[in-house]
Structure 1
Amino acid sequence: MSELLQAESHFRFGENWKSFLGVLDDERIAEAEAGLRRLFPGDELKNARFLDIGCGSGLSSLAALRLGAKDVISRDIDADSVEATRRLREMTGQTGAWNVDLKSVFEMTPESDGTFDVVYSWGVLHHTGDMWRAVEAASKLVKPGGLFAIALYRKTKMCGFWRIEKRFYSRAPKWIQALMQRAYIAAFYVIQRRAGKNPDALVKDYKSSRGMDFHHDVHDWLGGYPYESARPEEVKQHLPQFELVREFVEPGGRGLLGSGCDEFVLRRI
């Protein structure tokens, strides 16, 4: 377990995020803002001190600033993700209230980092190597009455398979990864067509999912190691000091193409 806590054992998410910046445009930024408004309707982000744990490309941090957060702190354990976020900060000129640092969630404490109106970690804590300890560490950074927003992989029947696949993929050479991406995309097209859906339209409209990009997300999914998943009831059991404000969850299912993330917004009591 201790090996999995080290950045060196993780999939290189940051390389993928730096590449993602090459396709980032105003439409994707607007979709990212819409995704945050869904989690934080009304004025919940206005004048908030906002912590983004596992900032990736920095897109969510940028969206938070645009939605009224007064102070944004972006943290990631991956140096390339930190570089990507700093690059986005420079590209958009949002320097004043936006701080970007290299730091693990396991190194953050209320004593060293303070507490926040909003602590946000979307699709990150299940990649730390110790998901529930990461959830606990992140939750301690929420001030009384503040909001804690997390997205975690939902548990499916295929989680064991995906854990093995991700461990292999994250260590595989680029040409093997490319072959696995092609196989996954082919399976995606077959499964969507059998379900009566248009896979080309799904790929074309993919940016409406929080501003993301289909091909970058395929690479992210196949390589996202370490990997853990959770049931909604487990999330609530591990956070007894919080009350649920809103959630966006779906049944686990088989997970043939992956598990997807369930989203939770909770308030510290």
Structure 2
Amino acid sequence: MIDGSSEVEQGKRFAFGRNWQEFSRLIDEDRIAGARESIVAALGTRDLAGRAFLDIGCGSGLFSLAALQLGAKVHSFDYDPDAVATTRRLRDRYAPDSDWRVEQGSVLDSSLISRLGQFDIVYSWGVLHHTGALREALDTACRMVAPGGLLYVSIYNDQGLRSRLWTHVKRTYNSSGAVKRRLLVAGSRMYMYAPGRAVALLKLARTGRRPVGSEGPRARGMSAQYDLIDWVGGYPFEVAAPEEVFRVGRRHGLELRHLKTCGGGLGCNEYVFASVADQGTTDTSRGAHSVTAA
């Protein structure tokens, strides 16, 4: 199967899996708990017992593991073989005898999608916009939601010209050597975080206290450093305005249940859609129908 390795070597694609391998060294109980709570907050339940959960673009496997610990039957796949290997190692470490399947695959592979069928919960956080075919990938993810099921996705916000400029940065990163990549990451860190740090220092000088949230683990159990590298290098790269995502959901009979935006700025907008095909099983707390063939 084509896995994008040649594109990475040619500087046309970011090595997402290698970045996830590095991040996976940081995974511990605190990060797993953070991942679990992010799923609970978005879905509105911590009981996924018996639900079929599909993780499209599983990366490190952290959120697949979180769903598993909430009771779900998990199937994970990723286009990048390094990400698949990392997810399998995480499974072997934390849940070796579990109902968790991991494989290599692409959301753009129609034969894979047909074989997998539909799931109670389709999850893809920060992935579909890196496929090189965001609209097709989002359409496919919608079709994989079972009647009464949920779609939980996050997609980069469209910032117009700023998004186009970041596309140039990402292309430059992947076509450059190690030194220039480090410079791009360092420059991006200053651009993205320096204003917030300046405010924190001013408050510290005035009150002697750091702002709440200026320290501690990153949301969702993630890492600021590896998230930054993923952001600077993450190519292919596409964006979508919330209105466009809403239209796709409606076209597939999905109703918006949860929205967390990045305030019109840099980053991802997070969506949870519910299938309204079967009104009696829309709420996951009442038991969605599991129809996955995996």
Q: Same fold (TM over 0.5)?
A: yes
Aligned to 1:78: 80
CA distance in 2, matches of 1:127, 1:224: 7
1:19 offset after TM fit, Å?
Answer: 0.5
Change (3 A) 1:110 1:179: closer
One-letter amino acid of the structure 2 residue matched with residue 116 of structure 1 = F
Deviation at 1:224, TM superposition (A): 0.6
Preserved contact between residue 126 and residue 156 of structure 2 (Cα < 8 Å): yes
Distance 1:172 1:189 in 2: 23
What is the aligned partner in structure 2 of residue 261 from structure 1? 268
- For 2:56, the equivalent position in structure 1 comes to 53
Alignment of 1:32 with 2:35, yes or no, is yes
How many angstroms does 1:10 deviate by? 2.4
Distance change >3 Å, CA 198–CA 81, structure 1 → 2:
farther
Task: Report the equivalent of 2:25.
Answer: 22
Q: Secondary structure at the match of 1:239?
A: helix
Equivalent residue in structure 2 for 1:193, among 188, 194, 197 = 197
Judge conservation of contact 2:4–2:80 (CA < 8 Å) in 1.
no
Q: Which of 210, 227, 234 is the aligned partner of 1:224?
A: 234
Distance 1:238 1:34, change over 3 A: same
List structure 1 runs of 4+ shifted beyond 4 angstroms: 198-203
Structure 2 CA distance for aligned equivalents of residues 22 and 42 of structure 1: 29
CA distance in 1, matches of 2:86, 2:183: 26
Residue 128 of structure 2 corresponds to: 125
- Distance (Å, rounded) in 2 between the aligned partners of 1:43 and 1:30: 12
Structure 1 residue 204, shift from structure 2 partner: 3.8
Instruction: Write the distance in 1 (CA, Å) between the matches of 2:26 and 2:180.
Output: 24
Superposed counterparts of 1:133-148, under 5 Å: 133-148=136-151
Percent identity of paired positions between Structure 1 and Structure 2: 39
In structure 2, the CA distance between the partners of 1:203 and 1:102, relative to structure 1 (3 Å rule), is farther
Aligned pairs, number: 258
d(CA) in 2 for partners of 1:44 and 1:73?
17
Which of 163, 168, 178 is the matching residue for 1:164? 168
SS at match of 2:227: helix
Point out the more displaced range, 121-130 or 100-109.
Answer: 100-109
Question: Which of 264, 267, 271 matches 1:252?
Answer: 264
Paired letter, 1:40 = L
Cα distance change, pair 136–44 in 1 and its aligned pair in 2 (3 A): farther
TM (norm. structure 1) is 0.89
CA RMSD of aligned residues (A): 2.2
Q: CA deviation at 1:182?
A: 1.8
Match of residue 256 from structure 1: none
Which of these two proteins has the greater Rg computed from alpha carbons?
A: 2
SS in 1 for 2:200: coil
- Kindly indicate whether residue 247 of structure 2 is the aligned counterpart of residue 237 of structure 1: yes
Give ranges in structure 2 of 5+ residues lacking alignment: 203-209, 277-294
Report the Cα distance in structure 2 between the residues aligned to 1:193 and 1:116, rounded to whole angstroms.
42
Give how far 1:189 is off. 4.2
> For 1:44 and 1:134, how far apart are their aligned partners in 2?
28
Q: What is the rounded CA distance, in whole Å, between the counterparts of 1:198 and 1:45 in structure 2?
A: 43
- 8 A contact 1:110–1:140 mirrored in 2: no
Shift of 1:176: 1.6
TM-score scaled by structure 2? 0.82
Distance 1:198 1:14 in 2: 35
Q: Tell me: CA distance 1:65–1:94, structure 2 relative to 1, closer, same or farther (3 Å).
A: farther
Q: What are the equivalent positions in structure 2 for 1:95-134 lying under 5 Å apart?
A: 95-108=97-110, 111-134=114-137
**Gapped regions of structure 1 (runs ≥ 5):** 254-258
